[in-house]
Amino acid sequence: MWVTEGTWPACVDAVRALPGDVTLLHVVDVATAAALSGPVGLLGRSGPADQGEFLLAEAAIELLDAAAARLGRGAVRQTRQGRPEREVVAACADVDLLVLARDGDRSRLGPRSLGHHARFVVDHAPCQILLVWPESTPALRTLPPPPHHDQTR
């Protein structure tokens, strides 16, 4: 199960009903790490180099702890660092099912409900996928009308 900020509770709720062993995976985005620890203060000055790493590690532990507590049963915790979409796909090499949440436009049904990272994972993961809506699912009436030439035919 891919645990990301904001959407993980929906994933946990979906996983709870499933049998089998669960792995909670969180990926620390290398871009966030870079932005946190880049020496961009006055020339030559920068914060302690390991401060960013420390904050990221702490946040990852808290996130996985919260997910494990909501799940309510034993689960393996895994933290990776890199480009999230690539790391998630790589972590799927030997799992049966990946559970992840949509992270795009939640107001209507359609392709925009998948953000760039989730889109990449859905397109490339080497396993079965369970894609859940965080919070409620949009109503069917948000479906766009069929293309014009279909209506006139």
Partner 1 sequence: MPTAISLLLLLAVLGFAVVRPRGLPEAVGAVPAAVLTVVAGLVPWRDAVHELGDLGPTVGFLAAVLLLAYLADRSGVFRFAGAVAARWSGGSPQRLLGIVFVIAAAVTAALSLDATVVLLTPVVFTTASALAIRPKPHVYACNHLANSASLLLPVSNLTNLLAMSAAGLSFLGFAGLMALPWLAVIAVEYVILRRFFADDLATPPHRPPVEPVPAPRFALAVLGVTLAGFALASPLGAHPAWVALAGALVLAVRLRVGLPTLVRKANPGFCVFVLALGVVVLGVSRSGFGTLVDRVAPHHPDLLGLLAMAFLAALLANVLNNLPATLMLLPFTAHSPGLVLAVLLGANIGPNLTYVGSLATLLWRQILHKSGHPPVTGEFLRLGALTVPACLIVGVASLWVSLRVSGL
Q: Where do contacts with partner 1 occur on this chain (CB under 8 A)?
A: 4-9, 29-47, 49-53, 55, 59, 62-63, 66, 83, 103-106, 115-117, 134-135
| Inter-axis angle of helices 51-71 and 8-16, nearest 10 | 40
Minimum Å distance from CB 38 to partner 1?
5
Exposure string for 69-102, b = 16+ CB within 10 A, e = fewer: eebeeebebebbbebbbbbbbebbeebeebbbbb
Minimum Å distance from CB 58 to partner 1?
8
Minimum Å distance from CB 122 to partner 1?
14
Nearer to partner 1, 60 or 98 (CB): 60
Minimum Å distance from CB 20 to partner 1?
26
Nearer to partner 1, 4 or 95 (CB): 4
d(CA 57, CA 44): 25
Query: Is 15 in contact with 22 (CB distance < 8 Å)?
Result: yes
Nearer to partner 1, 21 or 135 (CB): 135
Nearer to partner 1, 38 or 126 (CB): 38
Query: Is 4 in contact with 59 (CB distance < 8 Å)?
Result: no
